[in-house]
Amino acid sequence: LCINLACIAERVDEQLLPSLFRFVGHSFSASPSQLGQLTFSRAVVQALASPLAGVLGHHINRVHVICCGAALWGLMCLGFATASSVGQGLAFWAINGIGLALLLPAAQSITADYYPQHRGRAFGTLHFTGAAGAVLSTLFATNIGGVRPLGFEGWRFAFVSVALASWCVGACTFFFAVDPRRSRDPQYRCGSTQRVLGCAGPAYVRAVQILIWLSRPAGAHATGIVGTAPWVALVYLTFSFQLMGMSDVQASLLMAIFLATNAVGGLIGGMLGDWASRRWPNHGRICVCQFSVGVGVPLSLGLPLSSSPGAVAMHAVVLGVMGLAISWPAPACNNPIFAGEAGGIVPPHMRNLIYAFDRSFEGAIAALGAALVGWLSQAAYGFSGAAEVGPDALVNTAKSESLSSALLVFTTVPWALCAVFYSGLHLTYLRDRRRA
């Protein structure tokens, strides 16, 4: 329960800034590319810090690692609330990435240890609770961003609120969560600084060797990079709805529908992956992934560029189907394979490190997605002016079309490539399992 609460808090923090792009852009007089740089700074630092999180979680109590992450990202949320320029926000949000990096590898490896027989369903549940946090963040932040509670700008109040909530979750995790590895294996019950530092080098080398071995025959990290990029790019979705002329309530509800169905889709994907793995051990999980990423292409093309009542309803339907269908790869295939399920390809004692290095390799490059969407909307599709909703509806519509076109490029193309790249796993997965 505490691990799931921590994942909820992590996704609340991650979704917070994208939900407030309109208000932060107005306050900072920022362009779309500058807003993208804020997200990029957080994502790339999170990716580069993941190996550190992996080594810490490999040698010391993973619950303590998660608590440190919650404390740090709460502090950075508080700092961002005081920022008055893009430069100041960039510094706080980049350091925030370190806090977020500490959580995910530890949470995933703890989940794998707790549920060895039903990892697809367990990772689906973890995905579900994290997505629930994103829904809460979207509904809360988007609707409070334009008001002034207690005399503060709404977006600043939202960041302070998330900081306080993160610290509360971190405290609950510290006092009530248990690292199962430390209770089952005596070698993990005592971990000194010297031991961590002494083992860090060999652990790094071994983790890199495993990841190179996994990625060389199957293009696994190419798949992860192109599959992650659209999710990073979608941070602009709420802002694009607001530019179309939708109210904050409509935009937040559409994003809530997408994220809520994404949560349910993660559960469905995890169970489908378990079923497919039992039916076709060497190909089932991979086929589930290929269908999931492939269906994202036509669904993205089906999103209308209008804010009329009929178009809003169409958005809700398409986003609901997208959320259900495109969220399967991680809980159905990627996480169970890295968990070292029965016949898996990752040694159990290396799980935390492998999750961390996988996030590092894939996340560092995929993080470019948000920055490139902002740049492309300006350079290729004519977005001009600050990233804010102005009084001129025609100008807002032109901005919306530019941003939506850039979003379409950075969703359809990566998802199509991802479906193709997954084909390599059909040829190599059985061989990798035998070599493990």
pLDDT tens sequence across 241-285: 999 999 999 999 999 999 899 888 888 888 888 898 888 887 888
Ordered by start, the domain boundaries in the chain are 2-435
DSSP result, 212-237? HHHHHHH-HHHHHHHHHHHHHHGGGH
Q: Identify how many contiguous H helices and E strands the chain contains and give both numbers.
A: 20, 0
Task: Assign 182 a pLDDT band (cuts: 50, 70, 90).
Answer: low
Q: Answer whether 0.85 is exceeded by the pTM.
A: no
- pLDDT above 50: residue 155: yes
CA distance linking residue 105 with residue 49, whole number of Å: 11
Give the CA angle between residues 372, 230, 101 to the nearest 5°.
90
Cα-based distances in Å from 436 to 58, 282, 396, 430, 433: 20, 14, 55, 10, 5
Q: In terms of DSSP H, where are the helices of 339-392?
A: 351-366, 368-379
So what's the pLDDT on residue 196?
A: 46
Give dist(CA 150, CA 154) in Å, integer.
9
Q: Which fold has domain 2-435?
A: Growth Hormone; Chain: A; (1.20.1250)
Q: What is the pLDDT of residue 254?
A: 94
pLDDT of residue 352: 56
pLDDT, mean of residues 305-332: 86
Task: Please write the tens of the pLDDT for every residue from 25-44.
Answer: 999 999 888 998 998 888 88
pLDDT digits (tens, 9 = 90+) for 361-406: 666 666 677 788 989 999 999 898 888 888 888 899 899 999 999 9
Burial class (CB in 10 A: 0-12, 13-18, 19+), 58: buried
